Amino acid sequence: MITISNLTKKYNGTTVLDIPALNIQPGESFGLVGNNGAGKTTLFRLILDLIEANSGEVTINNQPVARRDEWKSYVGSFLDENFLIDFLTPDEYFAFVGKLYNKSEGDISAFLEKFSEFFNGEVTGNKKLIRELSKGNQKKTGIAAALLGDPQILILDEPFTALDPSSQIRLKRILNELQETKNTTMLISSHDLNHVTEVCKRTVVLEKGKVVRDIATSDDTLKELESYFAV
């Protein structure tokens, strides 16, 4: 379980995130939505211990992320292209990440085969460096690498951005399958309300760093979110 307690983050004296309490249960698909500057990426960076909180803490399975490292072995994440090693080809990068998880070449090949439709012949099997790929194909590379270690928890920031419609549909299929077959805990942020409601059973709305809505997904969720953001 991910537990957030009295978590705040300030930049230049301005509070950009203030969450007194938030729990994410094992196996939960958790969607995070909000306008630009709402604090979505800041929250994910705090959960992953990429930035330091001004107060409060995040724990994963009762381990404070800022003081323990065990959680890193079962958390997969991709927030942006800075997570990638862009002077490698995707194949070299997958081999590097696979070694971190003690995966054999056969394991990696079998894993990547499952992503062939998602990659659409544009990611693996060519000599392009990651930095030479389109933003969409860089994102595909990062998402696949985040899944290579069979994570119990998956954190993706704006995973649908820069993907073409076919790739968005394929990604939703991948995420829904993870939920159904492996009960993976998923934290997904997106500007697109449709995508979030299609893959997440719970949606939290952030506004100016605060949780203003916490909704169990139903047939009415999309309409409720659209009404909220239309004001």
Residue 33 backbone phi and psi in degrees, to 5:
-130, 160
CA-only gyration radius of the chain, Å = 18
Contact 72, 227 (CB under 8 A): no
- In tens digits, what is the pLDDT along the chain, a chain of 231 residues? 999 999 999 999 999 999 999 999 999 999 999 999 999 999 999 999 999 999 999 999 999 999 999 999 999 999 999 999 999 999 999 999 999 999 999 999 999 999 999 999 999 998 999 999 999 999 999 999 999 999 999 999 999 999 999 999 999 999 999 999 999 999 999 989 999 999 999 999 999 999 999 999 999 999 999 999 997
Q: Which pLDDT value is given to residue 231?
A: 79
What the chain holds in terms of domains, given with CATH numbers, is 2-84+152-230 (3.40.50.300)
Contact 125, 116 (CB under 8 A): no
Contact 60, 71 (CB under 8 A): yes
SS3 of residue 145 by DSSP = helix
SS3 of residue 153 by DSSP = strand
Q: Which pLDDT value is given to residue 45?
A: 98
Query: What phi-psi label fits residue 49: left (phi over 0), alpha (psi between -120 and 50 degrees) or beta?
Result: left
13 Cβ contact partners less than 8 Å away, ≥ 6 residues apart:
none
* 0.75 exceeded by pTM: yes
